[in-house]
A and B are shown apart, each in its own frame.
Chain A
Amino acid sequence: MSQLICKNLTLGYGTKIIIENLNFEVNKGDYLCIVGENGSGKTTLIKTILHLLKPLAGTITTGDGLLVDEISYLPQQTDVQRDFPASVREIVLSGCQSRCGKRPFYNKEEKQLAVAAMEKLGIRHLAKKCYRELSGGQQQRTLLARALCAAQKMLLLDEPVTGLDPAATEEMYSLIQQLNKDGITIIMISHDTEAALKYASHVLHIGNGANGSNSSKIFFGDVKEYDRNFNTVL
């Protein structure tokens, strides 16, 4: 059984439909890359999977032991965060929030989990540093560590390499690859088709329909198929 099944999904706001009839499945250990132009609805799709938005039609079901709130998330950075006075440790620890439930404070286990996540992403030495003084790559790793604290089964990443320099981008990709090898299912939004082909196991391409037609052009399949289908076009 798949971890995530999207069936006949229609997404949009109000009466404006962005994506229609979207079908795909994600299995445990997959590395799905969602590619497509700006405005094609990639972020909307992610937010719908996370239950931040409601689909206009269709269903999203989780299975294979995955619960809805066990999907973690690496969002794009917001303006608020750029000058936020918080230490790396505080931010990583805030990923444990959902484990607390009604308990107001973090327990020992959760603090250890945060330390382990920082260790894994190589930012333990930055624990007391202020978030706004970090480099872009370090900031992303902090948010990734927070995501790992929240859940370790499936991870959704929204443009994780935006604004990073080539070296940091490379590092970020290999970190994500490592997490995938450790058994975390990855769903990543990216502009970067090349990286998608290099790292992903599956690709979901959402294109704006050709010749101004309203319905969008959707491709879903594994990487080899995608390569065959689109190499001639791109």
Chain B
Amino acid sequence: MIETLTQYFSFAFVRYAFIVGVLISLCSSLLGVTLVLKRFSFIGDGLSHVAFGAICIASVLNVTQNMYLVLPITIISAILLLRTGKNTKIQGDAAVAMISVASLAIGYLLMNIFSTSSNLSGDVCSTLFGSTSILTLTQGEVWLCAGLSIAVIIAYIIFYNKIFAVTFDENFATAVGTHAQAYNLVIAIIIAVIIVLAMNLVGSLLISALVIFPALSAMRVFKSFRSVTVCSAVVSVVCSVSGLLISILAGTPVGSTIVAADLAAFLIFTIVGVLIK
């Protein structure tokens, strides 16, 4: 087994996959806590569908670096979705559902009509489930992913206290002079960046799992915001690394193996949480 792994690790693309995998899972888990607590879990799912639609458009337009098109579209949708949370005719969850299925459908439709690829269903499948994309990253994409992940992590640390205040009690934070709206915007942008990054790792259908599972697992056992955040980051990284290893050794698809590992972690934490009570 060790031999197989050393052999695999002699390939640059496997090393890239691990670096990117660790960074992406680290930053996706950070905001999970906030999303779960603010009842925004579905927004991650909705945005990932938007990102899928954007990728389809990019591939139809033959944009080689699709990140430059996908990222802005997803950020704009994130801002719009968080805005519609209140005071609109279409309620927040309905808006998310609407946007997510619409972009999924339009994306597939565009791919079908305009695609030049010979393996259409293969392309769609790998976008949805991220079957191989993590292993086919070019060096440029690895740098972009690493840069964006580090930016997300730094932004999260700098805004940590504000994010806590806005998550716990938006009204109070606004009343005593914190610009809650501005921080909601920051949160929305960070989420969008995370979603686009995570698409490489697990594909657009499975992103929500990467965002919410570690947070939910940590919340079973830990009791303060900081310990929950740290724990969910650790859980997320451990699950991603073990998912990647298993998928290499057993030849299973990367994305679904990682999510299965996350699910296993959640079950373990739930049991531990019941036992220590």
Which residues in A have some Cβ–Cβ distance to B below 8 Å?
A: 47, 50-52, 69, 71-73, 75, 78, 80-81, 84-87, 89-91, 94-95, 97-98, 100, 104-106, 128-130, 133, 146-147, 150-151
Measured CB to CB, the closest approach of chain A to B273, in angstroms, equals 11
Q: How far is the CA of A132 from the CA of B219 in the complex (A)?
A: 12
Is B267 on the interface with A (CB-CB < 8 A)? no
Q: How far is the CA of A76 from the CA of B162 in the complex (A)?
A: 21
Answer whether A104 and B159 are a contact pair too, CB < 8 Å, given A73-B176, A86-B168, A150-B176. yes
Q: Pick the contact of A75: B171, B177, B223 (CB < 8 A).
A: B171
Whether the Cβ atoms of A86 and B225 lie closer than 8 Å is yes
Whether the Cβ atoms of A85 and B219 lie closer than 8 Å is yes
Answer whether A84 and B168 are a contact pair too, CB < 8 Å, given A72-B176, A104-B159, A104-B160. yes
Q: How far is the CA of A40 from the CA of B251 in the complex (A)?
A: 65
Whether the Cβ atoms of B176 and A69 lie closer than 8 Å is yes
Q: How far is the CA of A151 from the CA of B176 in the complex (A)?
A: 8
Chain B hits for A129, CB < 8 A = 223
Which residues in B have some Cβ–Cβ distance to A below 8 Å?
A: 33, 37-39, 157-162, 164-165, 167-169, 171-178, 219, 222-226, 228
Chain B hits for A94, CB < 8 A = 161, 164-165, 168-169, 173
Answer whether A85 and B176 are a contact pair too, CB < 8 Å, given A75-B171, A90-B164. no
Answer whether A91 and B176 are a contact pair too, CB < 8 Å, given A86-B225, A106-B161. no
Q: Is the interface of B mostly helix, strand, loop or mixed?
A: helix
A75-B172, A98-B176 given; 8 more Cβ-contact pairs under 8 Å: A50-B174, A72-B176, A73-B172, A81-B168, A86-B168, A86-B225, A91-B168, A150-B176
Q: How far is the CA of A215 from the CA of B161 in the complex (A)?
A: 44
Chain B hits for A90, CB < 8 A = 164, 224-226
Measured CB to CB, the closest approach of chain B to A20, in angstroms, equals 23
Q: How far is the CA of A30 from the CA of B180 in the complex (A)?
A: 30
Chain B hits for A91, CB < 8 A = 168
Whether the Cβ atoms of B228 and A97 lie closer than 8 Å is no
Q: Pick the contact of B164: A75, A78, A86, A128 (CB < 8 A).
A: A86
Q: Is the interface of A mostly helix, strand, loop or mixed?
A: mixed
Measured CB to CB, the closest approach of chain A to B147, in angstroms, equals 21
Measured CB to CB, the closest approach of chain A to B129, in angstroms, equals 32
The 8 closest A-B pairs by CB, nearest first: A130-B223, A69-B177, A87-B224, A50-B175, A150-B176, A98-B177, A98-B176, A73-B175
Closest chain A residue to B221 by CB distance?
A85
Whether the Cβ atoms of B169 and A133 lie closer than 8 Å is no
Q: How far is the CA of A52 from the CA of B225 in the complex (A)?
A: 26
Whether the Cβ atoms of B177 and A85 lie closer than 8 Å is no
Chain B hits for A95, CB < 8 A = 176
Whether the Cβ atoms of A97 and B173 lie closer than 8 Å is yes
Answer whether A104 and B224 are a contact pair too, CB < 8 Å, given A84-B37, A85-B219. no
Chain A hits for B172, CB < 8 A = 73, 75, 146-147, 150
Q: How far is the CA of A151 from the CA of B178 in the complex (A)?
A: 13
